[in-house]
Amino acid sequence: MIEFRAVTKRFDDGTVAVNHLDLTVDAGTITVFVGPSGCGKTTSLRMVNRMIDATSGTILVDGKDVRSADPPTLRRGIGYVIQQAGLFPHRTVLDNVATVPLLFGWTRRKARSRAAELLELVGLPASLGKRYPVQLSGGQQQRVGVARALAADPPVLLMDEPFSAVDPVVREGLQDELLRLQAELDKTIVFVTHDIDEAVRIGEKVAVFRQGGVLAQYAPPAELLARPADDFVAHFVGKDRGYRALSFVDASGVEIREVATASIGDAVSQASDWRLVLDDGRQPRGWLPAGSTVDGQVTEDGLEPGGSLYTLGTPVRGALDAALSSPSGLGVVVDEEGRYAGVLTARQVLDLIEAQRGSRR
Amino acid sequence: MFSDLGKYLSDAGTRADIGTDLVDHIYLSLLPLVFGVVVAVPLGWVAHRFGRARGALLGVMNIVYTVPSIALFVIIPVLIGSQILSPVNVIVALTIYTTALLVRPITDALDAVPAHVIAAATAMGFRQWRRFLAVELPLSIPVLAAGMRVGSVSNISLVSVGALIGTGGLGGLFTDGFSRRYLPPIIVGITLTLVLALVVDLLLVALRRALTPWTRVQGVAVQ
Between residues B68 and B46, the one the model is more confident about = B46
Q: Is the pLDDT of residue B1 over 70?
A: no
Cα B25 to Cα B18: distance, rounded to the nearest angstrom? 10
Between residues A279 and B218, the one the model is more confident about = A279
Which among B116, B213, B220 has the least Cβ separation from residue A86? Answer: B116
Q: Please give the pLDDT value at position B223.
A: 39
* In contact, B68 and B3? CB cutoff 8 Å: no
Between residues B11 and A70, the one the model is more confident about = A70
Q: Please give the pLDDT value at position A166.
A: 85
- Average of pLDDT values for A189-213? 93
**Selection from A148-162, A246-260, B81-95, B154-168 with the highest mean pLDDT:** A148-162
Radius of gyration of chain A (CA): 25
Cα B107 to Cα B147: distance, rounded to the nearest angstrom? 12
Q: Provide the pLDDT confidence category of residue B221 given band limits of 50, 70 and 90.
A: very low
Q: How does pLDDT run across B167-207, given as a tens digit for each residue?
A: 788 888 888 888 888 888 999 999 999 999 999 999 999 99
Query: Which has the closest alpha carbon to A6: A19, A15, A16?
Result: A19
Q: Provide the pLDDT confidence category of residue A87 given band limits of 50, 70 and 90.
A: very high
Supply φ then ψ for residue A8, to 5 degrees: -125, 140
Q: Please give the pLDDT value at position B220.
A: 54
Interchain contact, B221 vs A137, CB within 8 Å: yes
Chain A residues with at least one Cβ partner in B under 8 Å: 49, 51, 72-76, 80, 82-91, 99-100, 103, 131-132, 134-138, 140, 145, 148, 158
Q: How does pLDDT run across B52-93, given as a tens digit for each residue?
A: 889 999 999 999 888 888 888 888 888 888 887 788 888 999
Interchain contact, A86 vs B117, CB within 8 Å: yes
Q: Please give the pLDDT value at position A84.
A: 84
Interchain contact, A135 vs B222, CB within 8 Å: yes
Q: Please give the pLDDT value at position B131.
A: 95
Query: Which has the closest alpha carbon to A328: A278, A266, A277, A273?
Result: A273
* In contact, A118 and A112? CB cutoff 8 Å: no
Query: What CATH class has A2-245?
Result: alpha beta
> Which whole-number Å values give the CA distances from A99 to A110, A145, B137, B211, in the listed order?
12, 11, 17, 19
Query: What CATH class has A261-360?
Result: alpha beta
Query: Which has the closest alpha carbon to A321: A313, A311, A331?
Result: A331
Distant-in-sequence, close-in-space partners of B25: CB < 8 Å, separation ≥ 6 = B156, B159, B160, B168, B169, B170, B171, B192, B193, B196
Q: Nearest-CA residue of chain B relative to A138?
A: B221
* In contact, B190 and B18? CB cutoff 8 Å: no
Q: Is the pLDDT of residue A61 over 90?
A: yes
Residue B220 sits at the chain A interface (C-beta within 8 Å): yes
Q: Please give the pLDDT value at position B219.
A: 63
Q: Please give the pLDDT value at position A210.
A: 92
Domain ranges of chain A: 2-245, 261-360
B223 CB burial (10 A radius; 0-12, 13-18, 19+):
exposed
- Average of pLDDT values for A93-100? 95
The residue type of B123 is A
Alpha carbon of residue B182 to chain centroid: 31
Q: Please give the pLDDT value at position A295.
A: 67
- In chain B, residues 116-155 whose CB comes closer than 8 Å to chain A: 116-117, 119-127, 135, 138-139
Between residues B178 and A357, the one the model is more confident about = B178
Q: Is the pLDDT of residue B157 over 80?
A: yes
Interchain contact, B125 vs A72, CB within 8 Å: yes
Q: How does pLDDT run across B89-138, given as a tens digit for each residue?
A: 889 999 999 999 999 999 999 999 999 999 999 999 999 999 999 999 99
Delineate the domains of chain B, giving CATH numbers in brackets.
Answer: 2-211 (1.10.3720.10)
Interchain contact, A135 vs B219, CB within 8 Å: yes
Cα A214 to Cα A47: distance, rounded to the nearest angstrom? 15
- Average of pLDDT values for A319-347? 90
Interchain contact, B124 vs A90, CB within 8 Å: no
Q: Is the pLDDT of residue B222 over 50?
A: no
Distance, in angstroms, between B100 CA and closest chain A CA? 27
Q: Is the pLDDT of residue A25 over 90?
A: yes
Q: Provide the pLDDT confidence category of residue A262 given band limits of 50, 70 and 90.
A: confident
Average pLDDT over all residues of chain B: 89
Interchain contact, A76 vs B125, CB within 8 Å: yes
